[in-house]
Amino acid sequence: MQRRSRKKSNAPWEPDLPAADAQGNYPALEALAVLQARDILRTRRKLGLTQVELARRAGIRPETLNRIEHGRNRPSVPTMAKIDRALKIVVKRDKSKEPCSNPP
């Protein structure tokens, strides 16, 4: 009997990919949820935001964001749009604070 293994993440706080089947294929929807979760989590941490801060900026509940980041909940398109918009706003604000490297 072949053992099904779960692909571990590089970081302990990131969700693991679901177990692969005998041919090495991952279940598409579950793998997509984990990949989305990792992207959101990495971006949020890179920007120095807490889950509560990002949830507030996105207009969603912190519990919802937590479930998404752990790969337990697949977000709807409108929810993903809210999260994406909130992350982009933070990036734009951070870039606007940086000094211009080539002043006129």
Looking at 1.20.1740.10, 3.30.930.10, 2.40.110.10, 1.10.260.40, the CATH number of the domain 28-95 comes to 1.10.260.40
Looking at this protein, which amino acid is placed at residue 69?
Answer: E
Looking at per-residue pLDDT, the higher value among 11 and 48 belongs to 48
Q: What is the pTM of this model?
A: 0.69
Name the H helices within the chain.
28-46, 51-58, 62-69, 77-97
Predicted confidence (pLDDT) per residue in 32-57, tens digit: 888 889 999 999 999 999 999 999 99
pLDDT digits (tens, 9 = 90+) for 51-75: 999 999 999 999 999 999 988 888 8
Contacts of range 49-55, beta carbons closer than 8 Å, 24 or more positions apart: 49/90, 54/83, 54/86, 54/87
pLDDT in tens, 72-102: 888 899 999 999 999 998 766 666 554 444 4
